[in-house]
Structure 1
């Protein structure tokens, strides 16, 4: 979250610097040309590219104010140098070059001021106990005491140690006033009770309890699990290493990074959903009338589904089954020649037109256009115990269509192997997401059609 705040602050200071420089250079005597405006836009794009190329907003660097700010300034100056070189070869370069130089200097002054102000505000909040992430560790009690001492000496640290798990203890105790337990069941219950979102396994080589058991114990929880190779700090290669309290931390299970990188997807989702709802309004009105006339009951079918990080929301579909087709608390997947499905419902399900109201869910922010398909909560409870990494699908927003669906895995999953394959495709999508990948999936959905042999 703080990374996103820094990105917004940098962009704001760059924009403010540009406006002040414009007023200083051009004043009331002249107005900037459209070419100047294009150069301003190009400078912004180049700056964003340079920031991300140099890793200004990487988690391991954001925690260090001096390192992050120096990288941001270096990237900004490099981007503006490139703009200056390009600008000098275009006509009327004099005033524009003066503007670019003034803009560069002003932004280079404003960015550190804004950044260090934000870092100071963050430290003040953390010193008062706000904005700190609760952490549980799996470690010998001695290492737990060392980590608790570190955190206690850094009141502005981003993390607060809440719980220690040590299988070598003779009985449950307290270490540096931190509860320390020896039984895995008690540990998992306490992690859930205290809503702890970070779990660090310290120096797993010496831990009698294997990492796989820890991961398995929390497979249905949205807890980030990381390995700390050693408390004295060791340099390990990217990409799975982040830095916390000056220590290298290896991500084992963690939510995908968000921030400005996810902003294009969020904007695209809303714009695409809005355009789709406007364009498809006549078709959706026709379907609504057909559903209402075909059988008794409401036009829309609403069902609880899990969204990002397991948050439950109501998904919208056109009703395709007779009213009260399912028993309360029981959801049965539709199968071939299912008597519960209405005649118009059978067509809607085969063509996937019953999914169109989910663009409303996208506008509300519950879903994305592209992402893992959400399943009924009852199905989640069933499959999470049968399919490895099943719940990892919900680390991002679910989608109307997805990589699994365009590869043939849609509709009924009558065998566990089919669900396992669907999960495999979903995880591949999460790990390799780009906006271009989304566009590819949308294109494949349109080209291959919305129906399928398993859609009934």
Structure 2
């Protein structure tokens, strides 16, 4: 419009020109997004990507000219207006990009935006060498929770301090539901890297090793805003954010429908328990959930005792502590129905490793190194182990070892279809009443 008014022409119909602008925007955004241009870490880098923007825009202009020639619509547009648009637009793109970076930097420094689910564990010198600019590049934030390892020369003292530091980091991760751990350590210190890796493997988080000082110097990682930062993934998170969302939606929908369907049965069960023996209808017991967090699990009371302490005796076949109505509830797995409330609360999932009493959990973790991996996902009302007959008591290490193998297979091979299969298998397993007592 400005061009036409300047040369003394009438203002043309603006809609076709808006269509050209939208097409140009679509082509430019599509091409730039493919290289990670709009990812938060790249947008937070201070340097404006002048070369990348100009090259992308000018090739976009050539594509527009090609489409105009191909569709024979070039005569409908002013060549002078197109040339003005062709050279004014990149200036606007550069100004907006710079303004975006300034605004992002200010927002990050105020803590308005930026990732807070990352924990940094590392060597004193490596962490000290990370500047605020590096934190923006690596994490998209100006500050992360840091846990510095020991700098003691004595190997035994250093390992002892490192264990305390890692335990403190693990507790912080569980309290704040962190999703990622970054390690900042010299790459040549392979012994210490393996030591740290062994101690963080029980955490259900992604663990990545950042480039150390030497590698960052060699790669000049900040020289290009489009360059991908080198970080080695040494542990993958058990489920991605999208997978966790899908699984949670499935839990809520099915648990809500099941609760409505089984409500009459649950009401009759509560009356029967109250008439059968003295005590509460619902049995409550602490269990470990996702990331080792404790939660209160609900069941219909089936015993005359309510153990929830450091010593809990597992139920055995023909256990005299089981009430007469409790024996029927346990054989039909009706005693597990109150856990639908745990699923809706988010403490449990429909499908996952079955949670054990804290006393048993703590013991199993000491005798089986892989046992803690079960806490990489939420515990379930039923699971792959239960569908394969591994239910009931675990009187020997061999029994719990077999159950752990099945649970870990489920975690490593999770899919929505697998959860559907387990739901179907559970129905037939309940009818078989195998190992149910």
Please give the TM-score of this superposition, normalised by the length of structure 2: 0.65
* CA deviation after TM superposition for structure 1 residue 280, in Å: 1.3
Q: Aligned match of 1:249 in 232, 250, 255?
A: 232
C-alpha contact 1:201 1:225 (8 A) present in aligned 2: no
SS in structure 2 at match of 1:247: coil
- Structure with greater helix share of residues: 2
| Stretch moving more, 266-275 or 226-235 | 226-235
Q: Is the aligned partner of 1:280 residue 2:255?
A: no
Q: Give the RMSD, CA atoms, in angstroms.
A: 4.0
* CA deviation after TM superposition for structure 1 residue 277, in Å: 1.4
Counterparts of 1:271 and 1:223 in 2: how far apart (Å)? Answer: 26
C-alpha contact 1:148 1:161 (8 A) present in aligned 2: no
Q: Is the aligned partner of 1:165 residue 2:120?
A: no
Q: 1:183 to 1:455 in 2, by over 3 A?
A: same
C-alpha contact 1:372 1:426 (8 A) present in aligned 2: yes
Counterparts of 1:158 and 1:341 in 2: how far apart (Å)? Answer: 57
Counterparts of 1:244 and 1:291 in 2: how far apart (Å)? Answer: 65
Q: 1:388 to 1:191 in 2, by over 3 A?
A: closer
Counterparts of 2:427 and 2:344 in 1: how far apart (Å)? Answer: 21
Structure with more contact order per residue of length (Cα contacts < 8 Å, sep ≥ 6): 2
Partner residue of 1:395? 376
SS in structure 2 at match of 1:303: strand
C-alpha contact 1:124 1:156 (8 A) present in aligned 2: no
Counterparts of 1:120 and 1:287 in 2: how far apart (Å)? Answer: 63
Partner residue of 2:87? none
C-alpha contact 1:201 1:226 (8 A) present in aligned 2: no
* CA deviation after TM superposition for structure 1 residue 117, in Å: 11
Counterparts of 1:332 and 1:312 in 2: how far apart (Å)? Answer: 19
Partner residue of 1:187? 162
C-alpha contact 2:352 2:382 (8 A) present in aligned 1: yes
Counterparts of 2:432 and 2:98 in 1: how far apart (Å)? Answer: 54
SS in structure 1 at match of 2:231: strand
C-alpha contact 2:136 2:142 (8 A) present in aligned 1: no
1:265-284 Cα shifts (integer Å, max 9, x gaps):
22221121111111112222
Counterparts of 1:307 and 1:389 in 2: how far apart (Å)? Answer: 16
* CA deviation after TM superposition for structure 1 residue 253, in Å: 5.8
Q: 1:132 to 1:161 in 2, by over 3 A?
A: same
C-alpha contact 1:65 1:116 (8 A) present in aligned 2: no
C-alpha contact 2:283 2:298 (8 A) present in aligned 1: yes
1:119-139 Cα shifts (integer Å, max 9, x gaps):
987654432356445544455
Partner residue of 2:391? 410
Counterparts of 1:122 and 1:310 in 2: how far apart (Å)? Answer: 36
C-alpha contact 1:132 1:158 (8 A) present in aligned 2: no
C-alpha contact 1:297 1:323 (8 A) present in aligned 2: no
* CA deviation after TM superposition for structure 1 residue 409, in Å: 1.0
C-alpha contact 1:410 1:455 (8 A) present in aligned 2: yes
Flag the structure with larger Rg. Answer: 2
SS in structure 2 at match of 1:384: helix
Partner residue of 2:295? 313
Partner residue of 1:300? 282
Counterparts of 1:199 and 1:414 in 2: how far apart (Å)? Answer: 40
Q: Is the aligned partner of 1:264 residue 2:239?
A: no
Q: Is the aligned partner of 1:290 residue 2:272?
A: yes
C-alpha contact 1:165 1:187 (8 A) present in aligned 2: yes
Q: 1:285 to 1:386 in 2, by over 3 A?
A: same
Q: Is the aligned partner of 1:362 residue 2:343?
A: yes
Which ranges of structure 1 fall in alignment gaps of 5 or more residues? 1-50, 71-114, 173-180, 236-242
Q: Aligned match of 1:371 in 336, 344, 352?
A: 352
Q: 1:158 to 1:331 in 2, by over 3 A?
A: farther
Partner residue of 1:209? 192
